[in-house]
Amino acid sequence: MAITLNGGFKMPIIGLGVWRMEGKEIRNLIINAIKIGYRHFDCAADYKNEAEVGEALAEAFQSGLVKREDLFITTKLWNSDHGHVVEACKDSLKKLQLDYLDLYLVHFPVAIKHTGVGTTSSALDEDGVLDIDTTISLETTWHAMEDLVSMGLVRSIGISNYDIFLTRDCLAYSKVKPAVNQIETHPYFQRESLVKFCQKHGISVTAHTPLGGAAGNTEWFGSQSCLDDPVLKGLAEKYKKTVAQLVLRWGIQRNTVVIPKSSKIERLKENFEVFDFELTKEDMDLIKKVDRSYRTNQPAKFWGIDLYA
């Protein structure tokens, strides 16, 4: 099952996010994910594992498990490389051992101090606050992203963690419209206005943290997962599915792409088994009521500044 992006390319509606996956486990996870049926992998320079992902993909291609054209590979420009977009993209392609990307995203709408292409550091100033570069506009960054398309390095380009204001601006100054806005959204953080705005203007929405971050964000940010919600638990029992499967199905029925991550093979299988049932309109409406406008991914913990304030 796939959605069609505004440039005509098809993007599988479920993918595997590789954030916080360690080097040694990546090979087995990616190879097994492909065997399960995953054809979409969501990467980022900042995850610091593109080289390991690249080795796994190369093995999958060389063994005949899958062809390059069968996969949809996303990676992201880190904040410190806004002034070095082409070099950063080429660095990611080299690590991933690919000739082109299916989708390249601006990871966050902020340029910070450059520390070398691909180093993906988040330099702090003397006050322990993210060292933001005020000389590079998001428009400048976007036009460099557009160059990647004309160079044939990238098929589609998009944005990530952009609100309605920034998304509107990008639509206004872009020659190549953003194909995707990747945002945190899940039942506790539904962001209906942003999702509908993007979809109205031809921008597909990818839900990162589609399960509310679960154990990972609880560990990193002390956040609460929607997977423990009694309403969602009750609905999962009704459909004889896990709460995670219910939440992913809800995301798919909103016409958002979902990219759950897991380092367990059995969870990879479970997360992919969401195409054999459908939530009723009444149950979709019921899930609307559990929204808490609750963000679980909080980089301010590391950056010394709340960019969402």
Active site (catalytic) residues: 47
Buried b (16+ CB within 10 A) or exposed e, 208-244: bbbbbbbebbeebbebbbbbebeebeebbeeeebbbb
Beta bridge partners, 160, equal: 182
Strands (E) across 27-179 are located at 40-42, 72-77, 101-106, 154-160
As a whole number of angstroms, the longest Cα–Cα distance in the chain is 54
State the binding site for substrate.
Answer: 107
Strand order of the sheet with strand 16-17?
16-17, 40-42, 72-77, 101-106, 154-160, 180-184, 204-208, 257-258
CA distances from 200 to 3, 193, 195 (A): 15, 10, 9
Q: Is 41 helix (H, G, I), strand (E, B) or coil?
A: strand
State the binding site.
Answer: 107
**How many whole angstroms separate alpha carbon 246 and alpha carbon 229?**
12
Q: Is the distance from CB of 206 to CB of 257 less than 8 angstroms? A: yes
**Structure tokens given for 270:** 């479970």
